[in-house]
């Protein structure tokens, strides 16, 4: 009986020694984890603005990193979430490193719905979180955030007052000046701008379009020539529509006169 008790006592001691050694080495190994986020890389695709967030994780400890996930949240200048993505990486064995490339996309629908992005320079904030379990025991989290400047593709978009001149006995030649700056570093503004002219009774007198191709960081100064019916007045309403490969917007309503 005494032999059995002594054996159980030694087994218990051995178990606690092993458990303590594991806990100590695990805790020490956790201090050897090194992680970092790189600078965001931005590209424009048919889906929208894709922000790539590179992350590096070095497992210099003695145990496997498991359940590794990267989550990113994109917020507008007011702090409201506008996009979110999560990547699951899996595990990283001990004494190995991993370079992870995670993407979050700001969709075209969001860009179009938030007209402020089209006409005003702003900023976006990218929040990144890297989470994992170490040795199936210790949770670990690395967080960071980056501010991303946003340049409006239609910055200071301005439709000037129409200028009327006689064309023939039934129509007036109407010239509508248009200016804007493409502050976006991500894509050119390539497409068409259409102007419709109405009187104050909402009767349309004419419309016309012009093709635009404005590279990044370029200024556009052009005009649209419309043959408007003689009923066009010196006071009325212009409606502007913008159709490009990247986005659509309209109508923008401008009162003149």
pLDDT (tens digit per residue) in 12-36: 544 444 444 445 555 555 666 777 7
Q: Looking at residue 193, what is its pLDDT?
A: 97
| pLDDT tens-place string over residues 216-240 | 999 999 999 988 877 666 788 999 9
DSSP labels for 65-120?
Answer: EEEEEEEEEEE-TTS-EEEEEEEEEEEE-TTEEEEEEEEEEEEHHHHHHSTHHHHS
Instruction: Map out the domains of the chain as residue ranges.
Output: 1-31, 33-150, 155-256
CA atoms of 231 and 197, how far apart (whole Å): 11
Predicted pLDDT of residue 135: 57
Residue 148 has pLDDT above 50, yes or no: yes
H/E stretch holding 17 reads helix 2-30
More confident residue, 200 or 196: 196
**CATH architecture group of domain 155-256:** Sandwich (2.60)
E strand or H helix at 54, and its extent? strand 48-59
pTM: 0.74
Domains 33-150 and 155-256 alike in fold: yes
Instruction: Say what the pLDDT of residue 28 is.
Output: 54
**The domain over range 33-150 is classified in CATH as 2.60.40.1820:** yes
């Amino acid at each position: 009986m005494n032999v059995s008790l002594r054996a159980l006592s030694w087994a218990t001691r051995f178990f606690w020694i092993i458990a303590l050694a594991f806990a100590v080495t695990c805790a020490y190994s956790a201090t050897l984890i090194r992680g970092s986020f790189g600078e965001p890389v931005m590209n424009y695709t048919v889906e929208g603005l894709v922000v790539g967030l590179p992350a590096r994780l070095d497992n210099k400890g003695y145990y496997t990193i498991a359940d590794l996930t990267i989550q990113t949240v994109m917020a507008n200048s007011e702090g409201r979430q506008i996009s979110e993505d999560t990547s699951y990486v899996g595990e990283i064995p001990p004494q190995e490193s991993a370079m992870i490339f995670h993407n979050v996309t700001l969709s075209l629908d969001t860009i179009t719905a938030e007209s402020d992005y089209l006409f005003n320079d702003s900023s976006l904030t990218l929040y990144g979180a890297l989470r994992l379990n170490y040795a199936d025991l210790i949770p670990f989290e690395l967080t960071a955030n980056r501010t991303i400047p946003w340049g409006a593709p239609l910055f200071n978009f301005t439709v000037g007052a129409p200028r009327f001149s006689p064309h023939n006995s039934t129509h007036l030649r109407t010239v509508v000046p248009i200016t804007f700056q493409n502050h976006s570093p991500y894509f050119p503004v390539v497409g068409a701008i259409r102007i419709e002219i109405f009187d104050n009774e909402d009767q349309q007198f004419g419309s016309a379009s012009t093709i635009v191709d404005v590279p990044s960081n370029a200024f556009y100064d052009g005009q649209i020539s419309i043959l408007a019916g003689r009923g066009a007045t010196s006071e009325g309403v212009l409606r502007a529509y913008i159709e490009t490969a990247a986005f659509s917007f309209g109508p923008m309503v401008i009162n003149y006169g």
